[in-house]
């Protein structure tokens, strides 16, 4: 899909009807919007990156004060480089722009220049990935 088609479709997601398990991390769910994005933008790799940090967040929240807020809110931002086909994925607590985790992506064909995915508690055992418009 083209970027303008994806952006137009993402505008339609303002809530979710169900949660989806789209990663190997059993306690991380996805809303309809994130599941749609992963499928149609072919970016399951992005949800896997987010999932790959969840154990570290749970582990380090007890001993690293800057990580503890991530148990309540995570803002994951993918931004493509303007000079090459790489990108950077950054996680913040949503209150500051200070990255707590970041990862460089050497190459991506992700169709959008950037995207934000929020992660917050779904219940006492699960976290959920959602688009900001689904909050």
Q: Is 96 left (phi over 0), alpha (psi -120 to 50) or beta?
A: beta
CA 135 to mean position of chain CA atoms: 13
**In this structure, are residues 113 and 79 in contact, taking their beta carbons and an 8 Å threshold?**
yes
Contacts of 63 (CB under 8 A, 6+ apart): none
Spatial separation of the C-alpha atoms in residues 71 and 83, rounded to whole Å: 34
**Chain segment 7-46, per-residue pLDDT in tens:** 999 999 999 999 999 999 999 999 999 999 999 999 999 9
Tell me whether strands 28-30 and 127-130 are parallel, antiparallel or unpaired. parallel
Spatial separation of the C-alpha atoms in residues 9 and 89, rounded to whole Å: 22
What CA dihedral angle connects 28, 34, 35 and 38, to 10 degrees?
A: -110
Residues linked to residue 118 through DSSP beta bridges, in sequence order? 75, 130
What pTM value is reported for the model?
A: 0.94
**In this structure, are residues 91 and 74 in contact, taking their beta carbons and an 8 Å threshold?**
yes
pLDDT of residue 129: 98
Residue whose C-alpha is closest to residue 103's, from 47, 48, 49: 49
pLDDT of residue 131: 98
The list of the chain residues with pLDDT below 50 reads none
pLDDT of residue 83: 87
């Amino acid at each position: 899909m083209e970027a303008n088609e994806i952006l137009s479709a993402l505008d339609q997601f303002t809530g979710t009807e169900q949660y989806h398990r789209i990663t190997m991390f059993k306690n991380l769910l996805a809303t309809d919007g994130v599941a749609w994005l992963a499928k149609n933008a072919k970016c399951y790799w992005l949800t896997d990156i987010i999932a790959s940090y969840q154990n570290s967040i749970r582990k380090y929240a007890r001993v690293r004060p800057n990580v503890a807020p991530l148990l309540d809110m995570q803002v994951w931002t993918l931004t493509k480089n303007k000079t090459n086909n790489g990108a950077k994925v950054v996680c913040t607590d949503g209150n500051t722009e200070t990255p707590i985790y970041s990862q460089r992506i050497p190459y991506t064909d992700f169709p959008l220049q950037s995207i934000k995915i929020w992660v917050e508690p779904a219940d006492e055992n699960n976290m959920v990935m959602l688009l900001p418009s689904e909050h």
